[in-house]
Amino acid sequence: MSDRRTSFVSRAGAVALTTAVASLGCVVGADPAASWASLGCKWDHVGPTYWNDAYSQGGYGNGFDNMVGEWNSQNTPVDFKKIGAGDESKADMRYIAGAWGSDYDWYGKAINADVCSGGIYPNGVQHVAVSINRTYTDGRANNPNNAVITHELGHALGLAHTPSTSPPAIMYQGVGYDYQGYWTPRTDDVNGINALY
């Protein structure tokens, strides 16, 4: 699908956001202390709903809920809401974990499927899928993997990659394989969300 935008934390360091980052909402230059950038799409509401489909995947299900909690506890308007069993199809987002093998060169990804209409993600029916690739994350400590989840949630909210670790950002493009010692949103990430929402 040509309008599908895929973003990921690459194992090799390559960045898939080649078409999304450069021209959309980047504030580099406006403020040297900021590096966050927009994917060019966001939700029209500040309580995006999610279906967690990873509870059977070891600690990955609880890890996702915990990192949702980390985003929700930040000083932003965003408040992710978990959707209950039976209402899965109504969720804005779906979260899955799986071991997809080394043919897939990413630790985690957020696929924003179908249309981004006027800069807004369509609501419901799990248009955005957040995935973590257990091929690379199994056997690691929790916090490097939590960093991947928090990073993908940042994509799901509309944040793009930041190119470096200065200022520190969970949206640093290499955080999946180049863990920086934090797994919760940093000030730059929060500033980005507050600019978007």
Instruction: List interacting residues with Zn ion (CB under 5 A).
Output: 7, 9
CB of 160 to Zn ion, least distance (A): 8
Compare residues 43 and 172 and give the one whose CB is closer to Zn ion: 172
As measured in angstroms, the least distance from the Cβ of 134 to Zn ion is 17
The C-alpha atoms of residue 175 and residue 7 are separated, in whole angstroms, by 13
Of the pair 9, 132, the CB lying nearest Zn ion is at 9
How near is the Cβ of 9 to Zn ion at its closest, in Å? 5
- The least distance separating Zn ion from the CB of residue 86, rounded to whole angstroms, comes to 31
Q: Please, which residues have CB within 8 angstroms of residue 125's CB and are 6 or more apart in sequence?
A: 89, 90, 91
Q: Taking Cα atoms as reference points, which of 82, 77, 56, 45 lies closest to residue 67?
A: 82
Using the minimum distance from each CB to Zn ion, give the nearer residue, 83 or 94.
94
Distance, CA of 168 to chain centre: 16
Q: Which tokens belong to 89?
A: 């199809």
Q: Which is nearer to Zn ion, 50 or 106 (CB)?
A: 106
Contact (CB, 8 A) for 40 and 116: yes
How many angstroms separate the Cα of 124 from the Cα of each of 16, 113, 127? 25, 12, 7
